[in-house]
Amino acid sequence: MPISGGGSKVGIYVDVAYIYNNGGSKMQYDVLREFACRDFAEPVRMNAYVSYDRERAEWDEVYRKGTQNFHSALRDMGYKVIVKEIQWFEDESGNRYGKANADLDLAVDALLQSAKLDRVLLASGDGDFVQVVRALQDKGCRVEVMALDNVSSKLRHEADFFISGYLIPNLIPVNNYKTDQPEWGEIGSRVRGWCYWHSEQGYGFMRYLKSIAPGLWLTDTRHPESPYATAFFHDSNLPESVRPTVLPSRSYIFEMELARSERGGGIQAINIELISKF
């Protein structure tokens, strides 16, 4: 039975400010598009909601050019850039603060455009979108949520599918310790995953995505079409901040180097770092 969902129509809605401020300053938006369309789906809508400080742009040339280049790059990748200008206010104490909340724009657009969509990928961890997710589901859309740090637990649980962006191959650059870093998933490369099994005897197994592919529900790596792979690890390779007693857990996202296993032909995880915890 084929696992592809070819022909599906997808909408991608990115809360850029939230993602940027919560681990996504280096996020690769072309990879996000590839992930959203991983089963040969068609990206009908691709909306990126960005904030823009017009006052700052008048005196900060670096900010102005950098922002313009970023917006242009998003458009080149097929995103519609919805700019929300920062509005400045003063509180009762005379302190100045800015607001450029694009939540309402994103919510309204997603709901209005959902009639022509089969699936929505929401890139945000903001719990304010919980009701939007429910409304989209009521309209018949499957809703996937991708976020990085500071993710609302209610939003994760409301989504039909949640994935930490750190787990998506090449979405967020890894900590590159080598000038000739191998491709994600190859021996010697650094990948990100989570511990899905652990023994009191001092070892366990990590699971990670080998590549962007359909069939994300096929977590059993023995399945020939599973996009996942596993790596053995010793507790001695875990970072000091992580107690083995909390494992296994999907809440801890690790970055690790893949090496030949000491036990034979398998893969072993070494130089393990804790990247995110939610």
Q: What is the pLDDT of residue 261?
A: 83
Which residue, 185, 156, 151, is CA-closest to 170?
Answer: 185
The token pair at 169 is 């191959």
Domain end residue (candidates: 101, 134, 166): 166
The answer on 126 and 71 residing in a single domain is: yes
Q: What is the pLDDT of residue 99?
A: 57
The answer on 74 and 20 residing in a single domain is: yes
Count the neighbouring beta carbons within 10 Å of the beta carbon of residue 235.
17
List phi, psi (to 5°) of 201.
-80, 0
Q: Which CATH number is 48's domain given?
A: 3.40.50.1010
User: Residue 201: helix, strand or coil by DSSP?
Assistant: coil
Q: Are the C-beta atoms of 14 and 33 separated by less than 8 Å? A: no
Structural domains of the chain, count: 2
Q: What is the pLDDT of residue 3?
A: 45
CA 245/CA 235 separation, integer angstroms: 10
The answer on 231 and 272 residing in a single domain is: yes
Q: What is the pLDDT of residue 111?
A: 97
Q: Are the C-beta atoms of 232 and 261 separated by less than 8 Å? A: yes
The answer on 95 and 38 residing in a single domain is: yes
Domain end residue (candidates: 135, 166, 197): 166
Is residue 4, in this structure, part of any structural domain at all?
no
Query: What HEC string does 228-260 produce?
Result: EEEEEEEHHHCCCCCCHHHCCEEEEEEEEEEEE
Is residue 36, in this structure, part of any structural domain at all?
yes
Residue 111: which H helix or E strand, with range? Answer: helix 103-113
Q: What is the pLDDT of residue 88?
A: 53
The token pair at 37 is 């369309």
DSSP 8-state code for residue 115 = G
The answer on 205 and 158 residing in a single domain is: no
DSSP 8-state code for residue 265 = S
Q: What is the pLDDT of residue 178?
A: 66
* Domain span including residue 90: 9-166
Is residue 177, in this structure, part of any structural domain at all?
no
CA 216/CA 227 separation, integer angstroms: 7
The answer on 225 and 129 residing in a single domain is: no
**pTM of the prediction?**
0.92
Q: Are the C-beta atoms of 141 and 119 separated by less than 8 Å? A: yes
What are the Cα distances from residue 157, in Å, to 22, 53, 254?
19, 34, 21
The answer on 209 and 104 residing in a single domain is: no
Q: What is the pLDDT of residue 2?
A: 44
Q: What is the pLDDT of residue 94?
A: 58
* Residues of the chain below pLDDT 70: 1-6, 86-100, 177-179, 263
197 forms bridges with which residues in the sheet? 205
Average pLDDT in the chain: 91
What are the Cα distances from residue 131, in Å, to 99, 103, 242?
22, 12, 34
Domain end residue (candidates: 151, 166, 181): 166
Q: What is the pLDDT of residue 102?
A: 76
Q: What is the pLDDT of residue 97?
A: 46
CA 6/CA 217 separation, integer angstroms: 16
Residues 6+ apart with CB under 8 A from 43: 10, 11, 12, 33, 36, 37, 78
Is residue 175, in this structure, part of any structural domain at all?
no
